[in-house]
Structure 1
Amino acid sequence: MRIGISVLTHTGQSVWENGLGQNIFFFAQLLRALPFVTDVVLLDCGDQRELPPEAVNLAQEFRLVPPREATDLVDVVFEMGGGLDVEWLDHIRALGKKVVFFCCGQPYAGLVEPSVFKKSGYFSRAQRCDEIWILAKDLAFKPMLQTLHRCPVFEVPFLWNPVFIERRAALVAQAGFHFGYEPAPKRDTPRALRVAIFEPNISVVKCCVIPMLVCDEAFRKDPATIARMHVLNSIQMKDHPSFAFLTRSLDLHKHEKIHLDQRHDFVGYMSQHANAIVAHQWHNAQNIAYLDALYGGYPLVHNSPWLAELGYYYADSDIAAGGAQLVRAARDHDADHDAYMRRARAFLARLNPLDADNRAQYARRLLDLGTRQTAKGASC
């Protein structure tokens, strides 16, 4: 079986700008480990003809090919990182080959927000694929996807390993910085945490508002718990009346403990400016930034049910509970750090693309795709 995966190259691209680039690499890595997969190519839907610099050395075995030059190179096409021309997809399917839409972004927000907020988005013909694959975080939207695309929708495992983190950490170390939480000596008072909020702030799915309120709640409970709150991806919002009103209402603002910043990569920023993370998501529980935080041993205050047994979990948008968890992290994380790391590493090992169970689940899904006939009336 020969497989093509769509990618979208663009100027100034980085694997740290979102999780999708890493999702694609981990997926391709798993596919290459399956005995019946003979080749994996990346279908370049962009304009750069090269991968992001952080991925070049890691992905040397994957050819980057324009889609229309890949017709005779693939048996299965995954639309994943870049939108593929529907005429080419029709041709691929007419040849008896299969097309899968591997949906990694939250599909509801991706469909609704561009219309409601009049911003750009990407849309293609719904009936263009044989199957849709989703991650567990999007199971709530399975009925929507089945109805819209008129084809079966299947859940597949989330994949991750620390290869990008480790490579970036090595570069940071060369500059004299250390990635990874460093416990302080035993003390009777809370540690004043330098909190970072990494939400991209381009959607309600992952936005900084709840984390900022969580931090302020913790600061009101115990001012000794927070030394600084760094809000990334927020500098463009600082003059917006609503955001300015929110920011200026906080006790952290009154005590000059808020720093608004632009986008930065996780490893570089944490190694220099922060030692704790507060996060919030809405129907997007599987986030690579959370895994990066756990791998680094940093206290992660979050509301992801997927990781409810890890980090410092608060449910839904319970700001009071989130504040309490942040205070607990300031008081207890140093003493619990070793056990925290053991729990995190055991969980992260199960996400490895080369894990036997992950390979088996993807193999079954692929083999079923290769043998299943598209039902009449359900053709995409």
Structure 2
Amino acid sequence: MTFFWGKSYNHIWSNGAGQNMYFLKQCLEQIDGVDSVYFVYWRNDKKSLSDNMRLDLMDIDIYDSDEVIDKTDVLIEGTLTLEPQIEAEYRKRGAKIVSYRMGNDFIADMEKMVHDKPGARAFNGTKYDAVWMIPQHMNTNRCYLEIMSKAPVYEAPHLWDPLFLDHMTQSIEEPYRFGYERGHMKANGARISVLEPNISVLKNCMIPILIGEEAYRNHPELVKHIYLCNTYDIKDNDAIFNFIGFTSGVKDNIMTVETRHITPQFLAKYTDIVLSFQWENALNYVYYEALYGGYPLVHNSPMLKAHHVGFYYDGFDAYDGERQLINAIKSYDDDFESHKKWNDKLIDSVSPFNKENILKYQILLEKLGVKG
């Protein structure tokens, strides 16, 4: 599997892609007949690999692509975009080539096109035998990738494991602890955190601002604070400045802009409820992290709704979102055990060690003519 690191990605918590590659490795290793799974790179220097990438925690092997070219049956494009010349060299040795797509490339490329930004990722002439795509991107990306790559696109299970989260929580200092504290928000009012990255229309804070504002206007006694993470650097942008500046929450210093934070640390210190928004990005590691910690999640993800987790509001309906947020504040403690049961089922369903996930990836390998 191809692996990237550099100035734009030097911490395992920078984004979920690096973690995702490790979870994929864990899953593939469970398939009978898979001898080894390793990470490869090219045109980079291992000396520049930051300790924050946590290769020690992952216990992985990483090689220059030339080192393993003669013993690779399947080369999976992961976080390092495959180049045609690398693909060609592996094909000479009989390897199959797969692109594992973790991001919403189609929407990202549209945004780069309309805003005249560089760096569209999707195509560079590399040829693939198959594209493996995680479920939340099938609707928007399948035709884009299938037509342009001329390779079949297959849905691949989304994978997550609490390894990195559990390790990060060990560094949280007393008196804080990761995990929902029952009774806290009923006694003190709810601390609501919005954790969207605000770098795309796919995941941003605008609907959560509306939801939080409506909740504070109607039930000020229930809302202690609303934290808008990842907004500090954009606070002077006209679109956000002229938006939140007219909210009661900001005027009363109940809603505040915040910098970027590592999720489990922010949840442990400042959060009772996670309020989220997505558009065509229905599965997200932040969701799993919050649910694993037992935090109530107010969301608009149909895929999470299908798993009976959290408090679902419809699409862009901020009024529905406000109702669900207030419902969560009022009812979550009493229904905690029921929510925990459904949360645990969801977490198990995305585990790299879940038998159904292992079987699905085995079938994907078999479609390539590679028997696990």
Question: How many angstroms does 1:338 deviate by?
Answer: 2.1
Q: Name the residue aligned to 1:376.
A: none
Does the 8 A contact of 1:186 with 1:334 survive in 2?
Answer: no
Q: Describe how 1:295-306 pairs up with structure 2 within 5 A.
A: 295-306=292-303
Does the 8 A contact of 1:231 with 1:260 survive in 2?
Answer: yes
Deviations along 1:20-40, whole A, 9 cap, x unmatched?
Answer: 111111000111222211111
Does the 8 A contact of 2:87 with 2:126 survive in 1?
Answer: no
C-alpha change, 1:42 and 1:127, in structure 2 (3 Å) is closer
Q: Name the residue aligned to 1:85.
A: 83
State the secondary structure of the residue aligned to 2:38: strand
The yes-or-no answer on 1:43 pairing with 2:40 is yes
Instruction: Tell me the distance in 1 between the aligned counterparts of 2:152 and 2:184.
Output: 55
Does the 8 A contact of 2:185 with 2:191 survive in 1?
Answer: no
State the secondary structure of the residue aligned to 2:58: coil
Q: Name the residue aligned to 2:19.
A: 22
Question: How many angstroms does 1:51 deviate by?
Answer: 6.1
Question: How many angstroms does 1:44 deviate by?
Answer: 2.6
Deviations along 1:22-63, whole A, 9 cap, x unmatched?
Answer: 111100011122221111111135745236536323321x21
State the secondary structure of the residue aligned to 2:281: coil
C-alpha change, 1:275 and 1:52, in structure 2 (3 Å) is farther
C-alpha change, 1:245 and 1:311, in structure 2 (3 Å) is same
Greater shift in the superposed pair: 90-99 or 311-320 = 90-99
The yes-or-no answer on 1:192 pairing with 2:183 is no
Q: Name the residue aligned to 1:70.
A: 68
C-alpha change, 1:52 and 1:136, in structure 2 (3 Å) is farther
The yes-or-no answer on 1:266 pairing with 2:263 is yes
Question: How many angstroms does 1:208 deviate by?
Answer: 0.9
Deviations along 1:176-223, whole A, 9 cap, x unmatched?
Answer: 420011011796xx8611111111111111111111111111112211
Q: TM-score of the superposition, structure 2-length normalised? A: 0.92
Question: How many angstroms does 1:295 deviate by?
Answer: 0.6
Question: How many angstroms does 1:159 deviate by?
Answer: 1.0
C-alpha change, 1:125 and 1:146, in structure 2 (3 Å) is same
Does the 8 A contact of 1:80 with 1:101 survive in 2?
Answer: yes
Matching residue's letter, 2:215 = A
Matching residue's letter, 1:252 = G
Matching residue's letter, 2:329 = A
Instruction: Tell me the distance in 2 between the aligned counterparts of 1:186 and 1:252.
Output: 18
Q: Describe how 1:344-363 pairs up with structure 2 within 5 A.
A: 344-363=343-362
C-alpha change, 1:263 and 1:45, in structure 2 (3 Å) is farther
Instruction: Tell me the distance in 2 between the aligned counterparts of 1:10 and 1:186.
Output: 41
Does the 8 A contact of 2:10 with 2:53 survive in 1?
Answer: no
The yes-or-no answer on 1:328 pairing with 2:327 is yes
Greater shift in the superposed pair: 313-322 or 362-371 = 362-371
Matching residue's letter, 1:137 = Q
Deviations along 1:285-321, whole A, 9 cap, x unmatched?
Answer: 0101001011111111111111112101111111100
Q: Describe how 1:88-237 pairs up with structure 2 within 5 A.
A: 88-123=86-121, 124-140=123-139, 141-172=141-172, 174-184=173-183, 192-237=189-234
State the secondary structure of the residue aligned to 1:133: strand
Which residue of 249, 263, 273 maps to 1:252?
Answer: 249
Instruction: Tell me the distance in 2 between the aligned counterparts of 1:105 and 1:221.
Output: 37
Instruction: Tell me the distance in 1 between the aligned counterparts of 2:194 and 2:157.
Output: 27
Instruction: Tell me the distance in 2 between the aligned counterparts of 1:120 and 1:247.
Output: 30
C-alpha change, 1:126 and 1:149, in structure 2 (3 Å) is farther
State the secondary structure of the residue aligned to 1:301: strand
Instruction: Tell me the distance in 2 between the aligned counterparts of 1:317 and 1:334.
Output: 27
Question: How many angstroms does 1:68 deviate by?
Answer: 3.3
Instruction: Tell me the distance in 2 between the aligned counterparts of 1:95 and 1:29.
Output: 25
Instruction: Tell me the distance in 1 between the aligned counterparts of 2:156 and 2:259.
Output: 33
Instruction: Tell me the distance in 2 between the aligned counterparts of 1:93 and 1:129.
Output: 10
Instruction: Tell me the distance in 2 between the aligned counterparts of 1:334 and 1:119.
Output: 46
Deviations along 1:140-197, whole A, 9 cap, x unmatched?
Answer: 121221111111010111111211111111221x55420011011796xx86111111
Q: Describe how 1:363-374 pairs up with structure 2 within 5 A.
A: 363-370=362-369
Instruction: Tell me the distance in 2 between the aligned counterparts of 1:111 and 1:314.
Output: 28
Q: Name the residue aligned to 2:4.
A: 8
Instruction: Tell me the distance in 2 between the aligned counterparts of 1:346 and 1:299.
Output: 15
Does the 8 A contact of 1:31 with 1:40 survive in 2?
Answer: yes
Q: Give RMSD over aligned pairs.
A: 2.0
Instruction: Tell me the distance in 1 between the aligned counterparts of 2:61 and 2:181.
Output: 40
| Residues matched between the structures, number | 364
State the secondary structure of the residue aligned to 1:359: helix
Instruction: Tell me the distance in 2 between the aligned counterparts of 1:66 and 1:214.
Output: 49
